[in-house]
């Protein structure tokens, strides 16, 4: 049976500045590179081995995936367009502090993040969930009894999680925080408390 791990990229320059990045293509900060190295070293320590590593084409994700693959002595990660982050529409480049002012009442607040739901030009979470479902179906067809790592982003990573575990998107957004360079497991029969495999020290994420 195919086993899938999800990693979120390390901190990039937009994360550090509190800017909503979406598909803005910013590099990792020094902190982000350190987070990726911490994650890679912790993966080594767990004994987890991947057959393949796939990455979002955005550089913050690919840099994270490259650091992991290099640390594990694997070939370079393969870019997968479907792993790209949610399109934030008109909210791209805005600050996180502006979400409530610009998007209320169509928001969902958690302890760590305020999610905007339907600003102009943005993918909605139902659309994101549909994209996640299609990707998981594709991976199930093309992969047989493999362990893979998908390096992706916060919003899309959560919708992959929601799709795999059959959760509503609203429930998934409020269930946990998916921080920079954290690792999640997608595997049937795993209890929720065991699905977050690795946590990395968070700064501004």
Residue 46 has pLDDT above 70, yes or no: yes
The answer to the question of residue 100 being in a domain is no
Residue 153 has pLDDT above 50, yes or no: yes
Beta bridge partners of 198: 183
Q: How far apart are CA 41 and CA 6, in angstroms?
A: 16
Q: How far apart are CA 122 and CA 144, in angstroms?
A: 34
pLDDT of residue 205: 40
- CATH code of the domain covering residue 137: 3.40.50.1240
Give Cβ neighbours of residue 128 (< 8 Å, ≥ 6 apart).
86, 155, 156, 159, 169
Give SS3 for 118.
coil
* Mean per-residue pLDDT, 81-96: 98
The answer to the question of residue 98 being in a domain is no
Q: How far apart are CA 28 and CA 59, in angstroms?
A: 8
pTM of the model: 0.94
Burial track 5-14 (b if 16+ CB lie within 10 A, e otherwise):
bbbbbbbbeb
Which residue range is the domain that position 11 belongs to? 3-87+123-198
pLDDT of residue 202: 59
* Mean per-residue pLDDT, 66-79: 97
* Mean pLDDT score of the chain: 94
pLDDT of residue 64: 98
| Phi/psi at 60 (5° precision) | -65, -35
Give the chain's domain count. 1
pLDDT tens sequence across 101-148: 999 999 999 999 999 999 999 999 999 999 999 999 999 888 778 899
pLDDT of residue 144: 75
The answer to the question of residue 64 being in a domain is yes
């Amino acid at each position: 049976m195919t086993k899938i791990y999800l990693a979120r990229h390390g901190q990039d320059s937009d994360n550090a500045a509190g800017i909503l990045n979406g598909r803005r293509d910013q590099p990792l900060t020094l902190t982000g590179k350190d987070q990726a190295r911490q994650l890679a070293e912790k993966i080594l320590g767990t004994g987890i081995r991947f057959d393949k590593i796939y990455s979002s084409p955005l550089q913050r994700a690919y840099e994270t995936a490259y650091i992991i693959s290099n640390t594990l002595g694997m070939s370079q990660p393969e870019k997968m367009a479907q792993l790209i982050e949610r399109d934030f529409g008109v909210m791209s480049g805005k600050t996180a502090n502006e979400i409530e002012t610009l998007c209320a009442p169509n928001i969902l607040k958690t302890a760590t993040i305020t999610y905007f739901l339907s600003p102009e030009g943005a993918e909605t979470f139902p659309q994101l969930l549909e994209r996640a479902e299609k990707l998981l179906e594709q991976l199930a067809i093309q992969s047989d009894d493999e362990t893979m790592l998908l390096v992706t982003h916060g919003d899309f990573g959560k919708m992959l999680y929601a799709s795999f575990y059959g959760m509503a998107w609203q429930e998934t957004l409020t269930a946990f925080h998916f921080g920079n360079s954290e690792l999640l497991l997608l595997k049937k029969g795993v209890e929720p408390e065991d699905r977050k495999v690795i946590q990395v020290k968070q700064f501004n994420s």
